[in-house]
């Protein structure tokens, strides 16, 4: 994971009210350095030459409205425009930002919280740990594809953090699914889950259909989709 600080006068005054929100980041196309702004054609944003712009979604990890700085933390994986851009990004690299998109509304009356996600969810989980009520237990399950993806997370007095390694050759989200399936979820617990789209769909079915957890108690978001570039496109 690489932390990238975006800055520019346009970000002055930019604020994000909720944790686990999102921003959309426009990147130069592969191999290009110049940023070309897309144009709305009434249906979608397209580049002047008709190609789709490279836009990816990230968690606004740190926002400083005074200095006009926005940090995003980008997972480096085998393939992907954002991953490649983050590897090569240097001061002066161009990007554009839109947002923020809605984040997570914390129910401060909840008796407990379960946070579960893969590496792409670490920025959002970190933000949640910073703001969840300190006197409530928080069970955190994070799946990592590589052991060195483990990192320090913000402290929370009642957090119990578990790292789950994804075994070689297994589908993304398998270890996360097993972790949620095996988790002790107390009555009334509020659940936040994000990760690979098919995996979180399995988790959604497990929570709602097998455990009978009321839908209002769980937020389950597809953050990326195996084999597909860009948004998970699962409508979450």
Could you list the residues that contact ligand FAD (CB under 6 A)? 22, 56-59, 72-75, 77, 79-83, 120, 123, 223-232
Output phi, psi for 27, to 5 deg: -120, 155
Nearer to ligand FAD, 181 or 228 (CB): 228
Nearer to ligand FAD, 11 or 185 (CB): 11
Shortest distance, position 167 Cβ to ligand FAD, whole Å: 15
Tell me which H or E stretch contains 70. Answer: strand 69-74
Residue 119's Cβ-count burial label (10 Å; 0-12, 13-18, 19+) is buried
Under a CB-based contact definition with an 8 Å cutoff, are residues 197 and 118 in contact? no
By beta carbon distance, the residue nearest ligand FAD is 80
Kindly report the CA angle at 231 between 221 and 200, in degrees rounded to 5? 30
Under a CB-based contact definition with an 8 Å cutoff, are residues 83 and 141 in contact? no
Nearer to ligand FAD, 65 or 229 (CB): 229
CA distance 108 to 12: 30
Nearer to ligand FAD, 157 or 227 (CB): 227
Shortest distance, position 186 Cβ to ligand FAD, whole Å: 27
Shortest distance, position 188 Cβ to ligand FAD, whole Å: 25
Shortest distance, position 15 Cβ to ligand FAD, whole Å: 17
């Amino acid at each position: 994971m690489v932390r990238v600080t975006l800055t520019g006068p346009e970000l002055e005054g930019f604020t994000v009210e909720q944790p686990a929100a999102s921003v959309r980041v426009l990147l130069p196309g592969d191999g290009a350095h110049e940023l070309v702004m897309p144009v709305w054609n009434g249906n979608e944003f397209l580049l002047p030459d008709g190609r789709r712009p490279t836009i990816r979604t990230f968690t606004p990890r740190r926002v400083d409205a005074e200095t006009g700085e926005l940090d995003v933390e980008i997972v480096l994986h085998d393939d992907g425009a954002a991953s490649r851009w983050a590897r090569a990004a240097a001061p002066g690299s161009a990007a554009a930002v839109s947002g923020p998109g809605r984040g997570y509304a914390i129910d401060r009356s909840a008796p407990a919280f379960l946070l579960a996600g893969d590496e792409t969810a670490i920025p959002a989980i970190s933000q949640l740990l910073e703001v969840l009520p300190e006197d409530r237990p928080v069970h955190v399950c994070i799946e990592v594809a590589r052991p060195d993806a483990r990192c320090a997370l913000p402290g929370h007095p009642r957090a119990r953090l578990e790292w789950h390694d994804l075994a070689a050759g297994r589908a993304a989200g398998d270890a996360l699914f097993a972790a949620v399936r095996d988790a002790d979820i107390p009555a009334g617990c509020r659940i936040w889950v994000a990760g690979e789209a098919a995996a979180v769909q399995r988790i959604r079915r497990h929570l709602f259909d097998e455990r009978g957890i009321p839908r209002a108690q769980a937020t389950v978001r597809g953050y990326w989709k195996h084999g597909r570039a860009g948004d998970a496109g699962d409508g979450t």
